[in-house]
Structure 1
Amino acid sequence: MLRRLAIAPLLLATALTVPASAAQASTAQADRCSGVRVPGAEYSVSACLTDLTTTGTLATGHTDRDDWKGLVAPKTVTPSGVPGVQIDGYFPDTSTTNTNHHWNHDSQFVIRLPEKWNGGLVVAGPPGVREQYANDPIISDQVLAKGYAYAATDKGNTGEELYKDGDRPGDAIMEWHRRMAELTVAAKKVTDQHYGRTPRVTYAAGLSAGGYLVRWQLEHYPELYTGGIDWNALSFTRKGSLLTTLPPALRAYPRFDKGDEGDKAAAHAEMLAAGYPKGSEELWGFHHKTQWDFLQRVIREELDPEYDGAGQAGTPFCPAGTTRGCDTDYDFAARPESVHRAVDRISLTGRIQRPLISIQGTLDVLTPPSTFGDVYDRMITEAGRARLHRYVHVPGGTHTDGLVALSNDKIELKPMLPSFVSAFGELEAWARPTTCSHT
Structure 2
Amino acid sequence: MALPIGVTPNRRGRTALGALALATAAVLLPAPASARAAGHCANQSSLRVPGAAHQRADCLEELTTAGTVDSGHTDPADWAGLTPRDLSVPAGVPGIQIDGYFPDSSTTNTHHGWNHDAQFVIRLPDRWNGGLVVAGTPGNREQYANDRAIADWVLARGYAYAATDKGNTGPGFHRDGSRPGDAVAEWNTRLTQLTRAARAVVAQRYHRPPTRTLATGMSNGGYLVRWQLENHPELYDGGVDWEGTLWHAKGPNPLTFLPPALRHYPVYAAGGPAADTARQELHRAGFPAGSEFLWSFHHQVYWDLTQRLYREEFDPAYDGATEAGTPYCAPKTPACDADYDYATRPAEVHEAVEGIALTGRIGKPLITLHGTLDVLLPISQDSDVYSRMIREAGRGHLHRYYRIEDGTHTDSLVDSFPGRLRPLLPCHRSAFTALESWLTTGHRPSADHTVVRPEGATPASLLTRCRLDG
Does the pair score TM above 0.5? yes
- 1:96 counterpart (98, 107, 115): 107
State the distance in 2 between where 1:37 and 1:433 align: 34
Shift of 1:434: 9.2
Shift of 1:242: 0.4
Q: Which residue of 2 aligns with 1:146?
A: 157
Letter in 1 for 2:436: E
Superposition pairs of residues 368-379 of structure 1, within 5 angstroms? 368-379=378-389
SS of 1:431 mapped into structure 2: helix
- 1:239 counterpart (251, 260, 263): 251
Q: Which residue of 1 aligns with 2:448?
A: none
Across the aligned residues of Structure 1 and Structure 2, the Cα RMSD in angstroms comes to 1.7
State the distance in 2 between where 1:289 and 1:101 align: 32
Does the alignment pair 1:255 with 2:263? no
Quick check: 1:200–1:433 contact (8 Å CA) kept in 2?
no
Query: Quick one: structure 1 residues 306 and 432, their matched pair in 2 at CA, closer, same or farther if it must change by over 3 Å?
Result: farther
Which whole-Å deviations, capped at 9, do the CAs of 1:235-272 have from their partners, x for residues lacking one?
Answer: 10022110001001011111111131x21101110111
Q: Which moved more, 1:48-57 or 1:176-185?
A: 48-57
Quick check: 2:44–2:205 contact (8 Å CA) kept in 1?
no
Q: Which residue of 2 aligns with 1:169?
A: 180
Quick check: 1:360–1:392 contact (8 Å CA) kept in 2?
yes
State the distance in 2 between where 1:259 and 1:34 align: 65
Quick check: 1:56–1:81 contact (8 Å CA) kept in 2?
no
State the distance in 2 between where 1:158 and 1:178 align: 15
Shift of 1:33: 3.3
Letter in 2 for 1:152: A
Letter in 1 for 2:158: G
Letter in 2 for 1:429: S
Q: Which residue of 2 aligns with 1:122?
A: 133
Task: Flag structure 2 segments of 5+ consecutive residues without an equivalent.
Answer: 1-11, 13-38, 444-470
Does the alignment pair 1:363 with 2:347? no
Structure having the larger proportion of residues in helix: 1
Task: Flag structure 1 segments of 5+ consecutive residues without an equivalent.
Answer: 2-27
Q: Which residue of 2 aligns with 1:314?
A: 325
Query: Quick one: structure 1 residues 30 and 72, their matched pair in 2 at CA, closer, same or farther if it must change by over 3 Å?
Result: closer
Q: Which residue of 2 aligns with 1:23?
A: none
* TM-score, normalising length: structure 2: 0.84
Letter in 2 for 1:359: L
Per chain length, whose mean CA-contact separation is higher, i.e. which structure has more relative contact order (CA < 8 Å, sep 6+)? 2
State the distance in 2 between where 1:360 and 1:92 align: 35
Shift of 1:30: 7.2
State the distance in 2 between where 1:387 and 1:122 align: 23
Q: Which has the larger radius of gyration?
A: 1
Identity of aligned residues (%): 57
SS of 2:402 mapped into structure 1: strand
Superposition pairs of residues 394-405 of structure 1, within 5 angstroms? 394-405=404-415
Q: Which residue of 2 aligns with 1:210?
A: 221
* TM-score, normalising length: structure 1: 0.90
Query: Quick one: structure 1 residues 48 and 127, their matched pair in 2 at CA, closer, same or farther if it must change by over 3 Å?
Result: same
Q: Which residue of 1 aligns with 2:78?
A: 67
- 2:390 counterpart (380, 391, 404): 380
- 2:422 counterpart (414, 422, 436): 414
Quick check: 2:40–2:95 contact (8 Å CA) kept in 1?
no
SS of 2:179 mapped into structure 1: coil
Letter in 1 for 2:52: A
SS of 1:166 mapped into structure 2: coil
Does the alignment pair 1:330 with 2:340? yes
Q: Which residue of 2 aligns with 1:392?
A: 402
How many matched pairs? 406
